[in-house]
Amino acid sequence: MAVRPVLIYPDPMLKQVAVCVLATDATVADLVQDLVDTMAAAGHSVGIAAPQVGDLRRVAVVDVSASKLGQQQHHHGLLEMINPVIIERSGSRVFREGCMSVPEYTGNVTRAEHIVVEFTDRQGRLRVVESDGFEAVAIQHELDHLDGRLFLDRVSSLKTDVFRRKTR
């Protein structure tokens, strides 16, 4: 369909909470396709959420299959997620995250290593997917966008993690 421009912070849209997609929303498939096209056009991107293209509906796509890290793990290929909700999370894993909407800044973020996410796919089927590692991190990063949350809100610094704790 169309590659859309990716919004860059401080665009206020990126801090909005997106709204649930209604079952009667006939245009959501177009949005899903635009997200897939925009993600592909961005080259090394492994995911994008609707607010990043200026649409405040709870839709995100993730596809780690083309990335080096993704190829080292079991993954689910292209995930088209409408109204996604993480229903289980466990473990933790640190990645140095960057984001198309926050260029030139990266930060260490701790996220769940293992998640179970429930969503409706483009065909309207309810799906429940278990995901680990990089794919799970990518899903959590994109779903954060639906709540107006950027990775900057989750950065855990080395000093804070290790040294700021009182030793006695």
Partner 1 sequence: MHHFALTIVGRDRPGIVAQVTEILFNLGCNIADSSCSILGGQFAMILIIAHPEFIDRASFGAAFQPLEEADLTVALRVLKAGGELHPDLAGEICMISVYGADKPGIVYHVAKVLGEKKINITDLNTKLVGSGQRPVYVMMIEAVLPASVSEQDVDTWIAPLRDQLQVDISVRTIPQVEL
Q: Find tokens 């405040």 and name the residue.
A: 56
Closest-CA residue to 134 (of 48, 56, 45, 72): 72
Amino acid type, 137: V
Neighbours of 5 (CB within 10 A): 9
* Alpha-carbon gap, residue 71 to 83, rounded angstroms: 26
Q: Which DSSP helix (H) or strand (E) runs through 144? A: helix 133-146
Task: State the nearest-atom distance from the C-beta of 144 to partner 1, in Å.
Answer: 10
Task: State the nearest-atom distance from the C-beta of 142 to partner 1, in Å.
Answer: 7
Task: State the nearest-atom distance from the C-beta of 125 to partner 1, in Å.
Answer: 25
Closest-CA residue to 137 (of 91, 80, 87, 81): 91
Binding site for partner 1 (CB under 8 A): 44-47, 67, 69, 94-100, 106, 108, 134, 137-138, 141-142, 151, 158-159, 162-163, 167
Nearer to partner 1, 7 or 29 (CB): 7
Nearer to partner 1, 30 or 161 (CB): 161
Catalytic residues: 142
Nearer to partner 1, 82 or 137 (CB): 137
Task: State the nearest-atom distance from the C-beta of 69 to partner 1, in Å.
Answer: 6
* Alpha-carbon gap, residue 156 to 165, rounded angstroms: 13
Nearer to partner 1, 29 or 147 (CB): 147
